[in-house]
Structure 1
């Protein structure tokens, strides 16, 4: 018998079904060896539930018996049996109908099925008892030997390979699903990134061809620097995702992937894809602002209009924004001029200057007790308009004053500032409106922007 059992164990240990991930087939192979090695007619595998208050039959031999016909064994119904499992490595019941550990099954199970002896051996996985292999002798008593218990014990140990393979297959499926989702996300983000880069190239080419900005060299350098940062972070994030996926695949193939590693890697992947998404949105926003800075005269239409009335109408739309920043608008519009110009361009200039002052001039801790922006107009002797916007905010340092119209110059890097606002204003005033824009400022006193605008002929 010992030689037979050893041969059965050897053949089972080399059976690829144990590592196939097919739990049902592997359990059948183990139970068939159990029947052959012990020369018995019935054997089954039972596993605990999560709370260890019940066990459910996973597989039973012979196959004529159905797992579904066997009810769960609960701790409440069979307290002595579960207590014995908690204390003993093996339940060796020669007289199962009278043994303290198994006699609870006598009336409902053992006697009706002509079972006289039971040998239950714990199944262990990762150091925990997860269930039992139940061996049953029918028709007569069976005095289970130490060799019998040892034989079933080795079968129990081999069951650990079955559990590991099943778990590995489950992780593999999870990994494949996660990989598919991540590949889709990476492809989507990569396409978005490529589209953003294409837009950048098109915008740069448009600027070069149209020569709308005198400082084109600085502008191109600025946008390249600004966009390269989020683009670089996005590419790094995608590369990190690829590295994590490769590491996961290696762990799966090596059979060493665990739940903790999988969860940690998935969390890192989620973080990296979120990082890619945020920086792509940032790059897209920079492209949008970059396009706006490349103003084209064809975007506006020439009209003849009363400038004072128009300025007042534009400023009315900005009152909610000013109130939100606790800034008061004061108007002194007395030019009486009628201009032939681009009202849309003038509206954009006013909007940018007022919002820029609200955000920068009264920023804590330099906030003043009564923040205000004064807008004045007057007619110059040459028939042009003088438009001045004066705030009583913190002022602009001398070293910053010389650079505030440069593209991408900002003191709010990392807080949402791009340095394009005043650059846009400067180019609209010069290129679209044919005017002049100057600035004067004293730290702690305030800042004044002065615009000189005239009427434009249709040819201009």
Structure 2
């Protein structure tokens, strides 16, 4: 290759403009190098559309004209021979452009108006495909394109691929920065929302989730929504049915087609719907009350010193109207008097929930000899151990791991809400300052073991 052309290529290849990501500046650099190296009048860069049926001028340098932003286009249907030649992705060297078979179609519409005599079109390839051409044009006098000039323009076309790579990289970086900014904004927004929600739910969390065994806050909220929304959804559906029945009744009345049988049928249907609404709303109210119980207000209990065995005996007698239906026999074993200073109200709620839980889940109403045994022991460390044992169905190992989670129940189809043992766990761990564990063998029975301090931490703090 000619030394002058080699120097120009070296200068262009070392220019930081190619790797700047500014595709327009890179195009001008390459076209100016082509204009200077070949000593021609015009040079332009053209790009195909996706289907290669249209080619558009992206940049044009003309010594006789100022830099223009106007983009000329040519379509395959108007220049079939020219596009066919480009399809072969080879260089078009037309010294006499008006008579060359590939460029003669330009004569009337392009060559003569622009006074162009010779054309050299070199393909631009990027990513393994031909994406456009660099078009070199000479005015007034015929120019015979040499091999060195063709190789020079081809080298510039290859450098344009490098510029496109840098431009794409810059675009990707900008897109990545925008995505990062959007992500940061979203993180900030979500963080603010979460902080707000956490602030609103901190009190509920502190009341209902006291240890790692409890379900996560998200599970708790989901359980509340499911338990309350289900009966409310039924009530809403029943109410909509009432509205529909009322509308039909109104239309029959207005059209004087209301018969006694239709009136009686509609009234009966309305009564059924109202009964459904009443049952489901009562169920929702019950769920809300039970939910409130899980957030135990410690100030509602008075601290007292009680004989634990005597207190349980008194409490069990108040439960007999309920346990009578299950034929439950209560056994209290305490080998020596055990006094503790605690919240009797919390003890009462724990025992009540454990007994009711045994009746609902462990015992069969048709079975005799159902037993709930209370074993009270004073440990050497001074702590009191209360074991509540039943001889019921027992609990499977997999269920034992989740038994204290809020809203976990195996009796949901029978109206269970899954709050009974969650209330027990919260009362023992939070209010009474103790611990509770479960041990069960399917078919044999279940034991709940409560370990309580002799003096409730809250009571000790008041002294």
1:51-86 per-residue CA deviation (whole Å, 9 max, x = no partner) reads xxxxxxxxxxxxxxxxxxxxxxxxxxxxxxxxxxxx
1:250–1:440 CA distance, 2 compared to 1 (3 A): same
Tell me, in whole angstroms, the C-alpha distance in 1 between the residues paired with 2:253 and 2:314.
Answer: 67
Partner deviation per Cα, 1:317-351 (whole Å, 9 max, x = no partner): 33454444212112211353332211110111111
State the alpha-carbon separation in 1 of the partners of residues 223 and 204 from structure 2.
18
Tell me if structure 1 keeps the 8 A contact 2:363–2:393: yes
Secondary structure of 1:212's aligned partner: helix
1:212 is the counterpart of 2:211: no
Q: Larger deviation: 418-427 or 408-417?
A: 408-417
Pair 1:309–1:448, CA change in 2 (3 A) = same
Structure 1 residues 248 and 316: CA distance shift in structure 2, 3 A: closer
Pair 1:296-2:297 in alignment: yes
Equivalent residue, structure 1, for 2:395: 396
Map of 2:27 onto structure 1:
none
**Does the C-alpha gap of structure 1 residues 347 and 448 become closer, same or farther in structure 2, counting only changes over 3 Å?**
same
Kindly state the Cα deviation for residue 231 of structure 1 after the two structures are TM-superposed.
0.7
Instruction: Classify 1:440/1:209 alpha carbon distance in 2 versus 1 (closer, same or farther; 3 Å).
Output: closer
**Distance in 1 (alpha carbons) for counterparts of 2:204 and 2:391:** 41
Q: After superposition, what is the alpha-carbon deviation per residue over 1:123-143, rounded to whole angstroms, capped at 9, x for unaligned?
A: xxxxxxxxxxxxxxxxxxxxx
| C-alpha separation in 2, matches of 1:318 and 1:237 | 36
C-alpha separation in 2, matches of 1:266 and 1:407: 41
CA distance in 1, matches of 2:320, 2:258: 60
Partner of 2:274: 273
Check if 1:382 corresponds to 2:374: no
Contact 2:309 2:332 in 1 (8 A): no
8 Å contact from structure 1 (residues 319, 329) kept in 2: no
Distance 1:284 1:205 in 2: 23
- 1:249 corresponds to 2:250: yes
Q: CA 1:322/1:262 → structure 2, altered by over 3 Å: closer, same or farther?
A: closer
- Give the superposition deviation at 1:206: 8.0
Partner SS for 2:276: helix
Aligned to 1:331: 332
Give the match for residue 264 of structure 1. Answer: 265
Q: Structure 1 residue 364: deviation in Å?
A: 5.7
Show structure 1 runs of 5+ residues with no match: 1-203
Give how far 1:451 is off.
Answer: 0.2
Question: Per the alignment, do residues 217 and 340 of structure 1 end up closer, same or farther by CA in structure 2, a change over 3 Å counting?
Answer: farther
Aligned length: 255
Alpha-carbon contact 1:361-1:394 (below 8 Å) kept: yes
Tell me the alpha carbon deviations over residues 256-314 of structure 1, each in whole angstroms, 9 at most, x when there is no partner: 33333333222222221221111111111111111112211111111222323323332
- What residue in structure 1 maps to residue 34 of structure 2? none
Partner-residue secondary structure (3-state), 2:245 = helix
Q: Residue 335 of structure 1 contacts residue 385 of structure 1 at CA under 8 Å; is this kept in 2?
A: no
Partners of 2:365 and 2:323 lie apart in 1 by 16
State the TM-score, normalizing by the size of structure 1: 0.51
Alpha-carbon distance between aligned partners in 2 of 1:339 and 1:302, rounded to the nearest angstrom: 10
Distance 1:330 1:359, change over 3 A: same
Task: Please tell me whether the aligned partners of residues 383 and 451 of structure 2 are also in contact (alpha carbons under 8 angstroms).
Answer: yes
- Extract unaligned runs of 5+ from structure 2: 1-198, 210-214
Q: 3-state SS of the aligned residue for 2:207? A: coil
Per the alignment, residue 236 of structure 1 pairs with 237
Structure number with greater Rg is 2
CA distance in 2, matches of 1:322, 1:238: 37
Tell me if structure 1 keeps the 8 A contact 2:327–2:365: no
What is the 5 A alignment of 1:104-115?
Answer: none
Q: Secondary structure, in 3 states, of the residue corresponding to 1:439?
A: strand
In structure 2, the partner of 1:437 is: 436
Residues 244 and 319 of structure 1, relative CA distance in 2, 3 Å threshold:
closer
Distance in 1, matches of 2:202 and 2:421, equals 18
Partner of 2:456: 456
Distance 1:274 1:427, change over 3 A: same
1:5-45 Cα distance to aligned partner (Å, 9 max, x none): xxxxxxxxxxxxxxxxxxxxxxxxxxxxxxxxxxxxxxxxx
Q: 4+ runs of 1 displaced by more than 4 Å?
A: 204-207
* Distance in 2 separating the partners of 1:303 and 1:206: 32
TM-score, L = length of structure 2: 0.51
Distance 2:264 2:202 in 1: 48
- Relative distance call for 1:334 and 1:423 in structure 2 (3 A) is same
Distance (whole Å) between structure 2 residues aligned to residue 209 and residue 322 of structure 1? 32
